[in-house]
Amino acid sequence: MDLLFLGTSAGVPTKARNVSATALIEASGSHWYLIDCGEGTQHRLLQTPLSIRDLRGIFITHVHGDHCFGLPGLLASAGMSGRTQPLDIILPAALHDWVRLGLTASDTYLPFEVRLLAVESLTDWRSETLQVSTVQLSHRVPSVGFVFTELNPEPRLDVQRLDAEGIPRGPLWGDLAKGLSVEYEGRTLHGRDYLRASRPARRVIVCGDNDNPELLAEAAKGADVMVHEATFTQAVVERTGATFGHSTAAQVARFAEAAGVRNLVLTHFSARYQGDPRRNPCIDDVRVEALAHYSGHLTLAQDLQRYHIGRDGCLVVVG
């Protein structure tokens, strides 16, 4: 599984960072999922190997424009790319009419079905390989984190069960190993009942805006990677006196340390943090602040940077 950041700036784009969007790419390397879709997400995609045709679902964390204003353009371009496969978009119910009206008012024809699902009532969304659930967060508006968990990773035949049920080795086992259903002595045997994951499922949490990381305490247990906003540093919040419903790097780092998060990826940085380390405040201030409280593997997300999450749960930069 890979993470590819398409936008890591909070609120407004900068020359170096676009507004929020993150791609989660399946281990197969082609199918992928989009978490948040700020304006210009489709432009960022042009700089990646990802195709809109391989997109399996869009997940919007909350209603703020820097997380969803790229939806109409992305859908229109998907239509022009010739996509025909239905597309699920999980997003706040308050945005459904806006997405629909954008398509009708602009006379946009889509050759595929768009299924708008309310994030508020999402409990268990599944593709063939991933299960997605939500965690309620705290922000100026309702906001969620999405928890992506691999389904039945690298399944192998449950030989013990097959033997116990007296199902003879041979082509029958081969079909069951492929997940097929087979007939045997008047019974229908389903592959899924005889397949077992051969390793723990990887779990990745990609959070929306949030000023209370403690809300992730339960979900963070056993997560391999947590992607969380760190809009500000303590120094900036102390000077301005306002968080606007966001977290500081210190706050997220302290939580991740206490929760034992293996890989913490910070993103959604205020545009005030400059890339140039000689400027003040600069993005290194965020890193320094987080490292003072967190001893795990810390990453500051960069636009267009891709990270691989190994089967062992290690996060490494790709390319």
**Does the annotation flag 66 for ligand binding?**
yes
**Does the annotation flag 67 for ligand binding?**
yes
Shorter beta-carbon distance to a second copy: residue 129 or 302: 302
Shorter beta-carbon distance to a second copy: residue 55 or 261: 55
Residue 111 neighbours by CB under 8 Å, 6+ apart: 79, 82, 83, 84
CB 219 within 8 A of CB 227: no
Query: In angstroms, rounded to a whole number, what is the distance separating the alpha carbons of residues 4 and 14?
Result: 18
CB 279 within 8 A of CB 268: no
Shortest Å distance, C-beta 38 to a second copy? 8
Could you say which of 36, 66, 88, 303 is catalytic?
A: 66
> Distances from the Cα of 125 to the Cαs of 32, 121, 128, 148, in angstroms?
14, 11, 10, 10
**Does the annotation flag 62 for ligand binding?**
yes
**Does the annotation flag 209 for ligand binding?**
yes
Shorter beta-carbon distance to a second copy: residue 38 or 224: 38
Shortest Å distance, C-beta 318 to a second copy? 21
Shortest Å distance, C-beta 233 to a second copy? 19
Shortest Å distance, C-beta 180 to a second copy? 40
For binding to a second copy (CB under 8 A), which residues are involved? 11-15, 18-19, 38-40, 42-43, 46-47, 63-66, 68-70, 72-73, 76-77, 80, 94-95, 97-98, 101-102, 105-108, 140-141
Shorter beta-carbon distance to a second copy: residue 63 or 130: 63
DSSP secondary structure letter of residue 187: E
Shortest Å distance, C-beta 165 to a second copy? 54
Burial class (CB in 10 A: 0-12, 13-18, 19+), 128: exposed
> Is 224 marked active-site?
no
CB 165 within 8 A of CB 145: no
User: Which ranges of the chain does DSSP label H, i.e. alpha helix?
Assistant: 41-45, 71-80, 96-105, 159-164, 171-177, 217-220, 234-240, 249-259, 283-291
Shorter beta-carbon distance to a second copy: residue 109 or 319: 109
Question: What count of other Cβ atoms lies within 10 Å of the Cβ of residue 135?
Answer: 19
Query: In angstroms, rounded to a whole number, what is the distance separating the alpha carbons of residues 31 and 96?
Result: 24
**Does the annotation flag 246 for ligand binding?**
no
Q: Which residues form the catalytic set?
A: 66
Q: Which residues are documented as binding site?
A: 62, 64, 66-67, 139, 209, 268
Q: Which residues are documented as binding site for Zn(2+)?
A: 62, 64, 66-67, 139, 209, 268
